[in-house]
Structure 1
């Protein structure tokens, strides 16, 4: 399907490609219209579309009014991947430590120079891996 703009004719897929390029490195919001009874749902790109669909269209399965939920989706940035890998490594390191004095995941991340969500802290990340940080915390007894 094509639409005419002041710059000429633009295809609908071209507009979707621009949106996907824009959201490739950052988080974005998706709105989901859903039925609380039967679980039927439909995703919308913006709040206005979701609100319009909610008002005008009842659930096709059970004819109830549908609700709107806002979903934040993280982007696929390198920083996000590194943060999630750091948290996963800290969880694995915590599981690998045996004994009574097991350091918390937050303590392991702090020893690695990262915040509790895995992103580098103000001092910057240290050269310690998650396993090294966990062992150092157990040996030093600084939990």
Structure 2
């Protein structure tokens, strides 16, 4: 289907292609509910969830009221791809560990210096790979 514009005839697929190019590099917002004392945090996908969690749930570690921070995450960038690869590597490393004491994916990511979503944490990523982090957690018994 074609539409008439002041510049001439434009096809619907051309408009959709332009829209997808525009949103391909855009970022999205994540809301983090965090404790100012102990550093405990939880990420939420929308502001309403974060506000509800802040109002209804105190910090599980120190029983204080938590704050809300708005974070911008890249939509389709190198940082996003690296975060996705880190999470996938942590899942593979968890599956490769055998035995009763299997570390969680979040524990592996934390040992790698990454958030539960795979982004570098405040301290920055460590030099450990996912397999090394999983083995270290199993050997140290810090699950």
Whether TM exceeds 0.5 here: the answer is: yes
| Structure 1 residue 74, shift from structure 2 partner | 10
What whole-Å deviation, never above 9, does each CA across 1:68-125 have from its counterpart, x for those lacking one?
9999999544333222221111111112222332211110000111111212212221
Aligned partners of 2:3, 2:61: CA distance in 1, in Å? 33
The gaps in structure 1 that reach 5 residues or longer are: none
Aligned partners of 2:22, 2:41: CA distance in 1, in Å? 25
The gaps in structure 2 that reach 5 residues or longer are: none
**Matched residue of 1:84: which SS?**
helix
State the structure with more CA Rg: 1
| TM superposition score normalised by structure 2 | 0.57
Cα 1:71–1:139 change in 2 (3 A) is closer
Cα 1:8–1:48 change in 2 (3 A) is farther
| Structure 1 residue 19, shift from structure 2 partner | 0.6
- Equivalenced residues, count: 143
Aligned partners of 1:61, 1:3: CA distance in 2, in Å? 59
State the superposition RMSD in angstroms: 12.6
| Structure 1 residue 11, shift from structure 2 partner | 3.2
**Matched residue of 1:115: which SS?**
coil
Cα 1:2–1:43 change in 2 (3 A) is farther
Aligned partners of 1:44, 1:15: CA distance in 2, in Å? 32
| TM superposition score normalised by structure 1 | 0.57
Aligned partners of 1:10, 1:97: CA distance in 2, in Å? 55
Cα 1:73–1:106 change in 2 (3 A) is closer
Structure 1 range deviating more: 20-29 or 40-49? 40-49
